[in-house]
Homo-oligomer: A and B are copies of this chain.
Amino acid sequence: MAVQIAVCGPGECSPREERWARQVGRLLAERGAVVLCGGYGGVMAAAAAGARAAGGTVVGLLSGADRQGACPDLTVVVPTGLGQARNAVLVNSADAVIVVGGSWGTLSELAHAMRRGTPVVALGGWRVIDAAGGPVPGVRHAATPAEAVESAWPAA
């Protein structure tokens, strides 16, 4: 079975985040991964577009119960109807999670992944510090889409 990697990020994002997400999607697809995402706009749509352009398989797990608002580049659409609980399902489906940019919804996905022990690689976005102000360890940070994909890829 193919490697499955989720690309998570805000539905509204900066041009740089959109470019990053598209590149991440493309690189994942070129390497043979199934790309998973939340299936709506912003980072999700860009990751889907990048993967689709490279001939990849893209699965969008929507929070809604129908396809309304789904981005156009999905191979398979799963309208979970679960609301934000779908974030946990998305993470459960991924061998690794690449986070592009920051939002509360994105942070919930990062947190679910860390809770589960799924590798998380962040390109920009928010960071978590403990009560003493030190970084909470665990999330891998990448500077480029290529570095993010390399870091997220499961060891053979």
Which residues of A pack against B, CB within 8 Å?
A: 1-2, 4, 34, 57, 59, 61, 65-67, 74-89, 91-93, 102-105, 107-108, 111-112, 114-116, 124-131, 136, 138
Across the interface, name the chain B residue whose C-beta is closest to A106.
B111
CB distance A92 to B108 under 8 Å?
no
Known pairs A1-B77, A76-B59, A126-B128; A88 contacts B89 (CB<8 A): no
By a CB distance below 8 angstroms, the chain B residues around A129 are 126-129
Known pairs A104-B115, A130-B126; A65 contacts B83 (CB<8 A): yes
Nearest Cβ distance between residue A114 and chain B, in whole angstroms? 4
Summarize A's interface: helix, strand, loop or mixed: mixed
By a CB distance below 8 angstroms, the chain B residues around A78 are 59, 61, 78, 89, 92-93
CB distance A128 to B131 under 8 Å?
no
